Homo-oligomer: A and B are copies of this chain.
């Protein structure tokens, strides 16, 4: 159906009150318009809550009247794993799902053809009789296996489709992207998320910071994300800060107390210039330290006076090796005289491999020459348009970078900007439903076929502790048991099957929103705990599933019973014509 907003007054942007934009998460209107159309059509046909109005169906399991699975079809970024994220936001959405009178008025204005009683129905609607089962957030997941199962009255569950897919899609994508960056950088490197300015909107940036931390980053530059989620904050100054200075005369207060408080250096700037002369004459200059840029020196000295305990300088505003490095070393050595330890440098342009190696050489020479312990271990941060590929290339070349600041490519998921999560009806009134595709080839390998009915999902672990295979089973089947042989079949290809004897069995879908059922509710863990789960799960994965080059696909299977069930249904439900 099509409906235009009533009047054109609403199209005035200024009606959107300055300073108080509506919080998109705080309203049940965050969905596609057709979901309301369908809700109305279900309601009109008396299908919206079959328990109440229809005695037509045999309620075989006496449960809610529809089930939807949320899953994806293909791992992103050419990889063979995905990290599941966004669950907490979905549960919050469900917890707050309620229409205000303003929402109802708006819906009435855009759906004038709907009966009033439908809006009364919406007024009473919430998610109290919806059940949400989910794989824990931060788990490593694979295509076709349901990440979530949502049960309840079809009209309500249908309204959750769009927000759930929205909340899971980007969250899982960017967490996976972060995990991939962590994998290529290695455990010992510090990873900093610098994406706020390039993220898709303010909220996109907040999500990015949260999920990059979840996927293995150490800190963010985003202050609001730091405040909301307790993520450690990191950053240096910008080129503009350096350009804002002209000369050392611009520093009004040149005094700096020593770290132990025992003495005051009245002219820190003179101490810096003395050091600069010393290193220009010293062996460490390697003959390249000529006259350095005075704006830059002033900016560094001024920054050190403000942050003597955290002096980290951006050294590429002018020329890294001729100006940035000697200026930085002069300030760092002056700080050292007063008992402080400089943090390090950031490189934001040029050949990062070469510059980091050259900078390291200078730091080491200074350590020896002026007997400054640990000066050679100065932290070198790199941050110019980095991504998985450039870090991999840096690793292959060799470099001396300790920390990577990553923005655009990380938070926009530049190399693949969306994960194709879908939300498919798998059962209604205890009758399984299957969605076949127009495209025969896609049906053949099961790419576009949903796996019908309510399923239980398990991960089977082998002797070495690696997960071997995920298996989906019918509700009524007994769970797989450790030490017992079980047949795992490819969901669509007859010939692909294998017996597995698991050493350990993990049930995947847990109850996070019990609705009116009496099931115990699993509590949402903290962000730190989710991050821990993610790191641990990636560690447990067989390395060939996670490697960058030609990773091995992880196997996803169905039980023999589910296989037979799918295929009998497929024969019955296939489109008219010769498709099967």
State how many angstroms separate the Cβ of A521 from the closest Cβ of chain B: 13
A540 to B515, CA, bound (A): 57
Which listed residue, B34, B53, B436, touches A221 by the CB 8 Å rule?
A: B34
Decide if A311 is an interface residue (CB 8 Å cutoff). Answer: yes
Q: A290-B577, A316-B438, A527-B11 are in contact. Are A26 and B32 (CB under 8 A)?
A: no
Decide if A270 is an interface residue (CB 8 Å cutoff). Answer: no
Q: Report yes or no: A200 in contact with B202, Cβ–Cβ below 8 A.
A: no
Decide if A272 is an interface residue (CB 8 Å cutoff). Answer: no
Q: Report yes or no: B30 in contact with A240, Cβ–Cβ below 8 A.
A: no
Q: Report yes or no: B46 in contact with A424, Cβ–Cβ below 8 A.
A: no
Task: Give the contacts of A282-317 with B (CB-CB under 8 A).
Answer: 290-293, 302-303, 305-312, 316-317
Number of copies: 2
Q: A32-B196, A166-B197, A196-B31 are in contact. Are A530 and B230 (CB under 8 A)?
A: no
> A19: which B residues are within 8 A, CB to CB?
25-26, 92, 95-96
Task: Give the contacts of A199-247 with B (CB-CB under 8 A).
Answer: 199-208, 219-224, 226-241, 243-244, 246
State how many angstroms separate the Cβ of A301 from the closest Cβ of chain B: 9
**Stretch binding the partner chain, chosen from A141-149, A319-327, A498-506:** A319-327
Q: Which residue of B lies closest to A32 (CB)?
A: B221
A474 to B57, CA, bound (A): 78
Q: A29-B223, A253-B46 are in contact. Are A37 and B526 (CB under 8 A)?
A: no
> A13: which B residues are within 8 A, CB to CB?
88, 229, 524-527, 530
A323 to B437, CA, bound (A): 13
> A10: which B residues are within 8 A, CB to CB?
227, 229-230
Q: A19-B26, A224-B29, A302-B45 are in contact. Are A250 and B34 (CB under 8 A)?
A: no
Which listed residue, B1, B66, B221, B319, touches A579 by the CB 8 Å rule?
A: B319
Which listed residue, B38, B250, B414, touches A56 by the CB 8 Å rule?
A: B250
Decide if A40 is an interface residue (CB 8 Å cutoff). Answer: yes
Q: Report yes or no: B200 in contact with A33, Cβ–Cβ below 8 A.
A: no
Decide if A4 is an interface residue (CB 8 Å cutoff). Answer: yes
Q: Report yes or no: B412 in contact with A34, Cβ–Cβ below 8 A.
A: no
Q: Which residue of B lies closest to A525 (CB)?
A: B13
Q: A8-B528, A26-B19, A438-B350 are in contact. Are A223 and B56 (CB under 8 A)?
A: no
Q: Report yes or no: B5 in contact with A226, Cβ–Cβ below 8 A.
A: yes
A308 to B114, CA, bound (A): 11
Which listed residue, B21, B31, B41, B163, touches A241 by the CB 8 Å rule?
A: B41
Decide if A431 is an interface residue (CB 8 Å cutoff). Answer: yes
Q: Report yes or no: A305 in contact with B45, Cβ–Cβ below 8 A.
A: yes
Q: Which residue of B lies closest to A310 (CB)?
A: B1
A246 to B114, CA, bound (A): 24
Q: A8-B528, A12-B230, A207-B201 are in contact. Are A310 and B113 (CB under 8 A)?
A: yes
> A365: which B residues are within 8 A, CB to CB?
none
Q: A169-B198, A251-B45, A527-B11 are in contact. Are A232 and B4 (CB under 8 A)?
A: yes
Decide if A117 is an interface residue (CB 8 Å cutoff). Answer: no
Q: Report yes or no: B526 in contact with A14, Cβ–Cβ below 8 A.
A: yes
Which listed residue, B21, B24, B46, B200, touches A412 by the CB 8 Å rule?
A: B200
> A323: which B residues are within 8 A, CB to CB?
575-576
Decide if A23 is an interface residue (CB 8 Å cutoff). Answer: yes
> A307: which B residues are within 8 A, CB to CB?
1, 37, 40-41, 113
> A549: which B residues are within 8 A, CB to CB?
none
> A116: which B residues are within 8 A, CB to CB?
none
Q: Report yes or no: B237 in contact with A41, Cβ–Cβ below 8 A.
A: yes
Decide if A44 is an interface residue (CB 8 Å cutoff). Answer: yes
Q: Report yes or no: B47 in contact with A113, Cβ–Cβ below 8 A.
A: no
Q: A163-B202, A196-B31, A201-B166 are in contact. Are A229 and B16 (CB under 8 A)?
A: yes
Q: Report yes or no: A41 in contact with B222, Cβ–Cβ below 8 A.
A: no
Q: Which residue of B lies closest to A224 (CB)?
A: B29
Interface string of A541-580 (1 = CB under 8 A from B): 0000000000000000000000000000000000111010
Decide if A52 is an interface residue (CB 8 Å cutoff). Answer: no
Q: A202-B24, A350-B439 are in contact. Are A322 and B240 (CB under 8 A)?
A: no
Decide if A140 is an interface residue (CB 8 Å cutoff). Answer: no
Decide if A27 is an interface residue (CB 8 Å cutoff). Answer: yes
Q: Report yes or no: B29 in contact with A227, Cβ–Cβ below 8 A.
A: yes
State how many angstroms separate the Cβ of A167 from the closest Cβ of chain B: 7
Which listed residue, B37, B203, B425, touches A24 by the CB 8 Å rule?
A: B203
State how many angstroms separate the Cβ of A35 from the closest Cβ of chain B: 8
**Contact sample, A vs B, 27 pairs, CB 8 Å cutoff:** A1-B343, A2-B234, A8-B230, A11-B230, A13-B525, A16-B229, A18-B96, A21-B26, A24-B206, A25-B202, A30-B223, A33-B220, A33-B223, A33-B235, A37-B235, A38-B238, A38-B241, A45-B253, A106-B226, A114-B306, A158-B241, A165-B198, A290-B576, A293-B576, A318-B575, A318-B576, A408-B418
Assuming A13-B524, A200-B413, what are 9 further A-B pairs, CB within 8 angstroms?
A11-B526, A29-B223, A35-B235, A41-B303, A45-B305, A107-B223, A318-B576, A319-B577, A414-B418
* Pairs A-B, 3 closest by C-beta atoms: A10-B230, A203-B203, A34-B235
